[in-house]
Amino acid sequence: MLRLVVRRLLQLIPTLLGLSVLLFLWLNRLPGGPASAILGERATEADVARINRALGLDQPVWVQYGRFLKRVVQLDLGTSTQTGQPVWDEFVLRFPATVELSVAAMLIAVAAGIPLGYLAARRRGGWLDVTAVSGSLIGICVPVFFLALLLKGVFAVGLGLFPSYGRLSTGLDATGVTGFAVLDGLLTGEFDATWDALVHLVLPAVTLASIPLAVIVRMTRASVLEVVGEDYVRTAESKGLEKRVVRVRHVLRNALLPVVTAVGLLTGSLLSGAVLTESVFSFGGIGSFIRTSIDARDYPVLVGFIMFIAMVYVLINLLVDLAYSLIDPRVRVH
């Protein structure tokens, strides 16, 4: 197990190096630069040249890359050209919001998706199955931004049940500890802040959960249908094992293997793909920051973020592998 963890972590080094080279080449080919993004209509040729000199962007790409590598070795990701603050500080400030949103969305997706997929498979052809299959198709097809606007229009603007934007209500003087608004309220005893954060999470999390929920429902359903027909399930049933034991230990446990892989990958994509949801709900996470960073050609943020996400993907894959070994003893043996 330890060897697996170490091997995977070592694999990160060439992955990140290769990715950083590709990123630098890509960024270097993009039109425009941060100078005119900073000054807007006010940018003059002289101003742009001066800012590029100040940022070292007039240097050849390999010189910029060398400078970047030197900084990374010193655990310094550079400074955001948009905010003038260290990139790491910007991540620390915004990433908890994205993690909170993604985790909430994934909890919704898993909590609803697995039982729904399982029940749909068990009652194949019934109304629940038809509803789950067609509902998941809609979940995949409806664009996230449209769903976000729809939910917001109905539940925030129309019915006034939930806030229309943000992570916390205005004027709520919550104490920040970890940056995770829900957790901070629990840690500091400010339960109203936790409640407020949860209420703010509902609409964006439901929006963001739509695609993973649909995927999980369909995967669980397909997987359960496949496993139910396996010999070992029939054997277990004919042995006279209690139905609950057959369902949980033999059917669900085996059916969940591909679902766990999907959950891992979907979590990674949520962390990097919450851009639209965060924008519509003005959620203040990393997604909306990246969107403005692309507009502003904020190279340090873009490089840092993409490498960070790559790292997250590798780590999530590692966790998925570890989860595999817990679910499937055969993996442990090998």
Residues whose CB falls within 8 Å of the CB of residue 195, separated by 6 or more in sequence, listed in order = 185
Dig out the tokens for 71 from the structure: 């900084």
The CA-CA-CA angle for residues 172, 175, 180, to 5°, reads: 95
Instruction: Put residue 75 in one of left, alpha, beta given phi > 0 → left and psi -120 to 50 → alpha.
Output: left
CB 56, min distance to another protein, A = 5
Encoded one letter per residue, x for contact with another protein by CB under 8 A and - for no contact, window 273-302 reads ------xxxx-x---x---x--xxx--x--
Count, residues near another protein per rule CB under 8 A: 77
Encoded one letter per residue, x for contact with another protein by CB under 8 A and - for no contact, window 79-108 reads x-xxxxxx------xx-xx-----------
Query: CA 141 → CA 46, 135, 138, 304, distances in Å?
Result: 48, 10, 5, 32
Helix (H, G, I), strand (E, B) or coil at 86: strand
The CA-CA-CA angle for residues 277, 146, 169, to 5°, reads: 45
Residue 199 touches another protein, criterion: CB under 8 A: yes
Judged by beta carbon, residue 60 or residue 160, the one nearer another protein is 160
| Segment 148 to 187, residues that bind another protein, using CB under 8 A | 149, 152-153, 156-157, 160-172, 176, 179, 181
Judged by beta carbon, residue 10 or residue 146, the one nearer another protein is 146
CB 186, min distance to another protein, A = 16
Cβ atoms within 10 A of the Cβ of 108, count?
A: 19
Judged by beta carbon, residue 86 or residue 258, the one nearer another protein is 86
| Segment 25 to 84, residues that bind another protein, using CB under 8 A | 31-51, 53-56, 67, 78-79, 81-84
**Sign of dihedral through CA atoms 269, 272, 278, 283?**
positive
Give the rounded distance of the alpha carbon of 152 from its chain centre.
Answer: 21
Question: How far apart are alpha carbons 23 and 17 in whole angstroms?
Answer: 10
Judged by beta carbon, residue 173 or residue 231, the one nearer another protein is 173
Q: Which residues pair with 79 in a beta bridge?
A: 86
Judged by beta carbon, residue 68 or residue 308, the one nearer another protein is 68
Encoded one letter per residue, x for contact with another protein by CB under 8 A and - for no contact, window 7-26 reads --------------------
CB 254, min distance to another protein, A = 19
Judged by beta carbon, residue 259 or residue 275, the one nearer another protein is 275
CB 84, min distance to another protein, A = 3
**Sign of dihedral through CA atoms 105, 108, 111, 113?**
negative
| Segment 222 to 251, residues that bind another protein, using CB under 8 A | 243-244
CB 253, min distance to another protein, A = 16
Residues whose CB falls within 8 Å of the CB of residue 115, separated by 6 or more in sequence, listed in order = none
Helix (H, G, I), strand (E, B) or coil at 190: coil
Question: How far apart are alpha carbons 80 and 314 in whole angstroms?
Answer: 25
CB 250, min distance to another protein, A = 16
CB 22, min distance to another protein, A = 21
Judged by beta carbon, residue 81 or residue 267, the one nearer another protein is 81
Phi, psi angles (nearest 5°) of residue 167: -105, -25
CB 142, min distance to another protein, A = 17
Encoded one letter per residue, x for contact with another protein by CB under 8 A and - for no contact, window 106-145 reads ---------x------------------------------
Nearest-CA neighbor of 220 among 263, 250, 249, 273? 263
